[in-house]
Structure 1
Amino acid sequence: MKHVTATIDFISPYAWLAFADLPRQLEGLSWHVRWRPVLLGALLKSHGNPGPLAVPAKAQWLRRHCGWLGQHLGMGLDWPAVHPFDPLPLLRLALQCSEDGHVNRFVAGAVLRHVWLGGHDALAPERLEALRSELQPQLRCDEATARQLLRSNTDAALAEGVFGVPSFHVDGQLLWGLDSLPMLRSIVAQSPPATA
C-alpha cells in the first residue's frame, strides 16, 4: 500500500476537485491518503507569488474553468458567495479534529463540501455552527492546539518545497496540482512516470 500526504487549503477550488476526483484516479490501486491542511496564503507569500486571483483576467478564467471542471468531472463546484475569504476559521476547525496535523477523509470532505457546494458564504456564522455540529464527534483538541498544528503544517510544507495546493507527497516525490493526478496514479501503481 502506498501512503500519500495530500496538502490542501479549503480556499482552493482545485483542492476540492482533487479531493473529489482522487478515488476515481486511483481506483483499483492500494493507497491511503492523509489530508494535511495548510495556509495557502503563507505558502504563496513565502514564494513571492501573489496568487492567481491577483490577476483579474486569470481570476475570471479560473472561475469559469473550475466551474466547468466540477461539472465535467461530475462532482459539482459552486463558487462561494464571498471569495476569496479568510480560510483560518475553517482550517482551525478541521485541525481541531486532529491529533497529529492530519485530518481524515470525512473531515476534509465535510469542510470542502461546505465551501464548494451550494454557493453560500463559507464563513456565515450559522453555517459555521452547523459545520461545527457536523464535526463535533471528530473533535480531538482545542483551538489553541489547532492553531499550532496549522503553523507546524505550513512550516513543514514550506520546508518540503510545497508552493501551492493541492500537493501530494508519495515515495519522496512532490507533485502539485489537479493535473498531477495521473502522475500520482503512475507512482502509486509503481510504474515510473514519463520524464521530459
Structure 2
Amino acid sequence: MVTPPVVHDITFWYDPISPYAYLAFEALPTALMGLSVRVRYRPVLFAALLKAHGQLGPAEIPGKREWTYRQVAWLAHRQGVALDLPAAHPFNPLPLLRLALAAAADLSAGETNRHVTGLVFRHVWQGGGDPVAPGRLAELERLLQAQMAERGSDWPGADAEMVKQQLRRNTDEALAQGVFGVPTCTVSGRHFWGQDALPMLRAFLDGEAWFDGDGWHAPAALPAAVARR
C-alpha cells in the first residue's frame, strides 16, 4: 500500500506594506516545491503587531529605513522578481488589507487566496505608484470584482464592517499565537519569521532532526541579563 503524502498546513501572515512579505510570497512556491502543502494567506495589520510589542517598523528608524530599501532591491534582483519602491513608504495599508479580505472566498475564515494576495502585493511593489491613491485603489477594486462577485460580496456596503472586524480578529489571533512580524509562516505551532527564514521552513518540513533538539527549544529558556526601559 502506498502511503499518502503528508499535507503540511501553513499559515502565511502578511501585510502588503512589507517588501519582505512580498519577496517571501513570490519565493514561496519554489521554497515548497515537491511538498504537499495547504497555504492559508492571512492578512494582518503589521502596525498593530509592532504596537503590541512596543516596536517601530524598519521604515520608521533612520538609517535602517534606507538600508531596508537597498536590501530589498538587491534581494529582488537576486531573486529575479520585479520590485519598485512605491511613491511613498510607509503608508497606511488598511484600505488594501480590507480590499483583500472583501475578496475572500470565505470572509469568516480570514483568508485570501494566492491570486488575490498576489494582486495586492504587486499593486504595492510593482509600478512605483501611490498604493492608496483613490484612482489606484479603484483600479485594484476593479481587478478584485470577480472574486467579490463569486462570494456575493456587498462591498463597500454591508460587508465593510464585517471586513474590518475580521481584520482585527486576524491580527488578534496572530498576536495570541506569538506572531510579532511579517512575513511569518506558521506550521505545527512553530513560527518562521522573515523572507530569509524560508530555507529554515523547508528544512523543518523535510523532517530535519535538528528541530527536535536544543537548537530550536533552548532559546526560549535563555534568561536576559538586563532590560532597557
Residue aligning to 1:66: 72
Deviations along 1:32-63, whole A, 9 cap, x unmatched?
21100000000000000111122210101000
Distance 2:196 2:98 in 1: 28
Over the aligned positions, Cα root-mean-square deviation in angstroms equals: 1.2
Does structure 2 conserve the Cα–Cα contact (< 8 Å) formed by 1:31 and 1:188?
no
Distance 1:11 1:152 in 2: 19
Look up the SS of the partner of 1:82 in the other structure: coil
Mark the CA change 1:104 to 1:192 in structure 2 (over 3 Å): closer, same or farther: farther
Mark the CA change 1:137 to 1:119 in structure 2 (over 3 Å): closer, same or farther: same
**Structure 2 residue 181 is matched with structure 1 residue 175:** no
Mark the CA change 1:193 to 1:18 in structure 2 (over 3 Å): closer, same or farther: farther
Q: CA deviation at 1:193?
A: 4.4
Q: Unaligned stretches of 5+ in structure 2?
A: 1-6, 154-158, 217-229
Does structure 2 conserve the Cα–Cα contact (< 8 Å) formed by 1:170 and 1:187?
no
Larger radius of gyration: 2
Residue aligning to 1:31: 37
2:207 to 190, 193, 196: 190
Residue aligning to 2:17: 11
Residue aligning to 1:94: 100
1:84 to 60, 85, 90: 90
Distance 2:209 2:167 in 1: 33
Q: Unaligned stretches of 5+ in structure 1?
A: none
Give the number of aligned pairs. Answer: 196
AA aligned opposite 1:184: L
1:117-132 aligned at under 5 Å gives the runs 117-132=126-141
Mark the CA change 1:143 to 1:70 in structure 2 (over 3 Å): closer, same or farther: same
* Higher RCO (Cα < 8 Å, 6 or more apart): 1
AA aligned opposite 2:126: L
TM-score by length of 1: 0.96
Does structure 1 conserve the Cα–Cα contact (< 8 Å) formed by 2:59 and 2:89?
no
Which one is further off, 86-95 or 180-189? 180-189
AA aligned opposite 1:158: L
